[in-house]
Amino acid sequence: MGSVAPIFKKEFLGYFQSPIAYIFLTVFLILMHGLLFWATGFLVIGQADLRDFFGLMSIVLVFFVPAISMRLWAEEMKLGTMELLMTFPVRDWEAVIGKYLAALAMIALAILLTIPLPITIGLFGNPDAGPIIGGYLGALLLSAAYLAIGAWTSSTTSNQIISFILGLLILLVASLGLDWIRQFSPGWLATWLAYFSLRTHFDSIARGVVDIRDVVFYLSVIGFFLYLNVRSVESRKWS
Amino acid sequence: MVEIRNLRKTFGPTVAVDDVSFDVAKGEVLGFLGPNGAGKTTTMRVLTCYIPADSGTARVAGFDTYAESIEVRRRIGYLPESAPLYLDMGVMEYLSFVASIRGLPKSMRERRIADMVELCNLGSVRHKTVGELSKGFRQRVGLAQTLIHDPDVLILDEPTTGLDPNQIVQIRELIRRIGREKTVLLSTHILQEVEATCSRVQIIDNGRLVAQGTTEELTRFAVGERRVVVRYRAAAGDVEPRLRELGGVSGINALDSEEPGTCRYEVIADETDGLEERLFRLAVESGWVLTELRPETRSLEQVFQSLTRGEVV
């Protein structure tokens, strides 16, 4: 475990060494505020609720998370620093976890910076803390699952753009895509698709109902893709 | 310190390293010499635990690179080819990252980083980011990184490629200084580099070791005989038969004398000792004036070329 901390620190601070972090945070906040006002017009009507806010966030994160994760491994491979990193006394999984947690911290920061929004909404409507906390918990779990996928796609290529597009495609299918297909599906298939859709589990948590099965679903997705990430980092040893 | 036994590594149909065995003794600077694509980098990657071998073993300080990889990694410093670094990081920040990931206790880090800055002459760039540095400085940051945890063994993959002549001299000087205390394995395809920095040479070609020894040994090994160029002020007709009769001489080649009234030969002997002396005595006994007497040395370059072209030596 000893090597997770230095890698975490290097990666997390790395976001702030270039303008990347500031650009990401600004764009994310502008998108969240702008889209919410535009899509719901809630200031005019005065009756937007938290579901609009978290629903919107779950979509914005589909684009935002792969942008944060695309450099994690792709850049190491591009620069050739991968060879040095993997010959430090670091186990492959320690590097995978360190990088993952750093990107997760970055995303959590972005998500938490939106807190004034639901509070404002709460002031207009129903000032209940439960759905806000549930919504943020759900958003963190959802983005943690998105991120595990994005981190894995980053480890499959040395090109950040390819990593981004691949991650975005998978996320689009696994969240919006499945939801869309579900509308035209017969009942039994719709149930299945709902189970595998990353967003349906989020919806129930965001309603304030934290079901352990939803949490387990996200943790399984995270575990599975982090495992693929480790395997992908190991794959240099297979040729 | 480093033991490699029957190492073999293939990439698909390509055999990158084929049955390679060698040792690097403690305190030795071993030059790993070969043309591009000979298998140097692959051997080093196995040794640094980046990739496993198909068969054979590699040990560093007694630890197996496959089974005890973390122990091996603790004991080596590695500079991959072209010194890859994180370009966005500051120089000091980078060294501090390596120090922490190398597990240096916090109390020692600042001290070691300061020592490395001093040793590798990084004082003038300590406030810059790596991306701003010239190739020479990046290479020095790379070297500082390999040394920060005071490893037993240094593995340097082509440490001077892409540098200008002044930088090359500086880096070689630095490697020589490091080599007084550490075991160093250094790969290169530049011969002067080996002659300038290494105590022993290992030549690899097409994944196989083709020769090894000190630079002098290798030169002699490849020549396998002694050649001396000699010029007497005498008639060629007199000189030639006398040379042929001389003890130990296996052949002579007439050369252009470039000076009227003289004759010039390349004399080849199987025995390596005393040929010059016998050639001198011959001149004295015959009353010839000796105007040139010069051992013909083949450079390491020629040795290398003949070895790696697959010629029998």
The mean per-residue pLDDT over the stretch A95-119 comes to 92
The mean per-residue pLDDT over the stretch B20-32 comes to 89
Partner residue opposite A87 with nearest CB, options B78, B86, B103? B78
Instruction: Please answer yes or no on whether B88 and A18 come within 8 Å at the CB atom.
Output: yes
* Cβ-contact B179, B197 below 8 angstroms: yes
ipTM reported for the complex, 2 dp:
0.87
Per-residue model confidence (pLDDT) at position B59: 92
The yes-or-no verdict on residue B300 having pLDDT over 70 is no
Partner residue opposite A17 with nearest CB, options B12, B70, B88? B88
Superfamily of domain B2-213: P-loop containing nucleotide triphosphate hydrolases (3.40.50.300)
Per-residue model confidence (pLDDT) at position B111: 93
The distance of A20 to chain B (nearest Cα, Å) reads: 11
Is the torsion defined by CA of B245, B247, B252, B257 positive or negative?
Answer: negative
How would residue A48 be classed by pLDDT, with cut points 50, 70 and 90?
Answer: low
CA distances B4 to A238, B146, B166, Å, are 21, 21, 34
Residue of A nearest to B41 (CA): A83
Per-residue model confidence (pLDDT) at position A105: 96
* Residue B223 or residue A18, greater confidence: A18
The distance of A80 to chain B (nearest Cα, Å) reads: 5
Per-residue model confidence (pLDDT) at position B155: 94
The distance of B277 to chain A (nearest Cα, Å) reads: 56
Task: Decide yes or no: CATH 3.40.640.10 for domain B222-301.
Answer: no
The yes-or-no verdict on residue B296 having pLDDT over 80 is no
Partner residue opposite A88 with nearest CB, options B11, B73, B87? B73
Per-residue model confidence (pLDDT) at position B166: 83
CA distances A7 to A10, A93, A189, A223, Å, are 5, 12, 43, 19
Chain A residues contacting B, CB < 8 Å? 2-3, 5-7, 9-10, 14, 17-18, 79-84, 86-91, 236-237, 239
* Cβ-contact A24, A97 below 8 angstroms: no
Instruction: Please answer yes or no on whether B84 and A14 come within 8 Å at the CB atom.
Output: no
How would residue A5 be classed by pLDDT, with cut points 50, 70 and 90?
Answer: very high
The yes-or-no verdict on residue A201 having pLDDT over 70 is yes
Per-residue model confidence (pLDDT) at position A124: 65
The yes-or-no verdict on residue B160 having pLDDT over 70 is yes
For A68, half-sphere exposure in the C-beta direction (CA atoms, 13 angstrom radius) is 35
The distance of B203 to chain A (nearest Cα, Å) reads: 24
Partner residue opposite B102 with nearest CB, options A10, A18, A88? A88
Give contacts of B101 with chain A, Cβ < 8 Å: 3, 6-7, 10, 88-90
Please give the interface size between A and B, counted as residue pairs whose CB atoms are below 8 Å apart: 69
* Residue B33 or residue B101, greater confidence: B101
Partner residue opposite A236 with nearest CB, options B51, B86, B97? B51
Q: What ranges do the domains of chain B cover?
A: 2-213, 222-301
The yes-or-no verdict on residue A79 having pLDDT over 90 is yes
The yes-or-no verdict on residue B306 having pLDDT over 80 is no
CA distances B166 to B20, B125, B132, B272, Å, are 34, 18, 19, 38
The mean per-residue pLDDT over the stretch B223-242 comes to 80
The yes-or-no verdict on residue B312 having pLDDT over 50 is no
CA distance B299 to B220: 10
CA B297-B194-B22 angle, to 5 degrees, is 105
How would residue A65 be classed by pLDDT, with cut points 50, 70 and 90?
Answer: very high
* Cβ-contact B177, B21 below 8 angstroms: no
Per-residue model confidence (pLDDT) at position B313: 39
Is the torsion defined by CA of A86, B162, A154, B9 positive or negative?
Answer: negative
Q: Among A34-38, A161-165, B98-102, name the one with the lowest average pLDDT.
A: A34-38
Per-residue model confidence (pLDDT) at position B297: 63
Phi-psi region of B121 (alpha: psi -120 to 50; beta: other; left: phi over 0): left
